[in-house]
């Protein structure tokens, strides 16, 4: 259960499946999909890091910064599970952002990384 009494900034790299007929561009459509998560208040920044076209959707890898909501003291693992459980979203990395640091030199407080094996295409002979 998400408790919206505490907000904190988070950066993450996520892979988002954007349907072919989604409204807007890939960044705005991907951001809206991430924002569907109860634990995410709003995506404030999003940058495309990769594209994988598919038959019915395009998987967009985004570096996002968003405002998360939850209980004070809630750890990143809980937030990561909430975002990762959203249909069409896979979290690759996630880190809380120190809001007291100035925006140019903000450093992550804690980072959790998901290492996943991605298949590599072998050349056809």
Which contacts (CB < 8 Å, 24+ apart) does range 29-34 have?
Answer: 30/60, 30/62, 31/62, 31/64, 33/86, 33/88, 33/89, 34/62, 34/64, 34/66, 34/83, 34/86, 34/89
* Paired residues of 70 in beta bridges: 6
pTM for this model (two decimals): 0.74
Q: What is the C-alpha separation between 108 and 85, in angstroms, rounded?
A: 23
Q: What is the C-alpha separation between 24 and 81, in angstroms, rounded?
A: 27
Question: Tell me, what's the pLDDT at 4?
Answer: 59
Question: Tell me, what's the pLDDT at 3?
Answer: 53
> Over its length of 125 residues, how does the chain's per-residue pLDDT go in tens digits?
445 578 899 999 999 999 999 999 999 999 999 999 999 999 999 999 999 999 999 999 999 999 998 877 678 898 999 999 999 999 999 999 976 654 444 333 333 333 333 444 444 54
Q: Are strands 40-53 and 57-70 parallel, antiparallel or unpaired?
A: antiparallel
């Amino acid at each position: 259960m998400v408790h919206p009494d505490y907000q904190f900034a988070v950066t993450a790299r996520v892979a988002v499946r954007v349907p072919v007929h989604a409204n807007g561009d890939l960044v705005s459509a991907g951001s809206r999909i991430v924002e569907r998560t109860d634990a995410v208040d709003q995506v404030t920044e999003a940058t495309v890091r990769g594209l994988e076209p598919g038959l019915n959707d395009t998987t967009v890898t985004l570096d996002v910064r968003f405002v998360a909501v939850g209980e004070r003291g809630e750890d990143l693992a809980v937030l990561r599970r909430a975002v990762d459980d959203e249909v069409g979203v896979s979290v690759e990395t996630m880190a809380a952002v120190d809001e007291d640091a100035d925006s140019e030199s903000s450093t992550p407080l804690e980072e959790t990384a998901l290492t996943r094996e991605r298949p590599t295409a072998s050349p056809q002979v």
